Amino acid sequence: MHSMASIKTWFTDFYNVLSPRFCAICGEKLNTTEQKICSACLIRLPYLRRTDFLDNEVSRLFWAKIPIERGHSFMYYHKKGPSHELVMKMKYNHRPDLCQWIGSMMARDLVQKHYFEGIDAIVPVPLHWIRFIERGYNQSYYISKGISDVTKIQVSTSWAKRIKNNETQTHKTASERLINVKDAFQARSRIPARHILLVDDVTTTGSTLIALALAILKENPDVVFSVLTVGKALD
Per-residue confidence band for 16, with pLDDT thresholds at 50, 70 and 90: very low
The pLDDT-based confidence of 5 (bands split at 50, 70, 90) is low
User: Which one, of 83, 172, 181, lies nearest residue 125 by Cα?
Assistant: 181
User: Cβ contacts of residue 136 below 8 Å, gap of 6+?
Assistant: 94
Rg of the chain, C-alpha, whole Å: 19
Of 95-104, 113-122, 140-149, 171-180, least confident by mean pLDDT is: 171-180
In this prediction, residues 137-150 reach a mean pLDDT of 98
Q: What's the average model confidence in pLDDT over 144-168?
A: 91
37 or 20, which is more confident?
Answer: 37
Q: Give percent above pLDDT 90 in the chain.
A: 80
The partner residues of 138 in beta bridges, in order of sequence, read: none
3-state helix, strand, coil in the chain (%, to 5): 40, 20, 40
Round the average pLDDT of the chain to a whole number and report it: 89
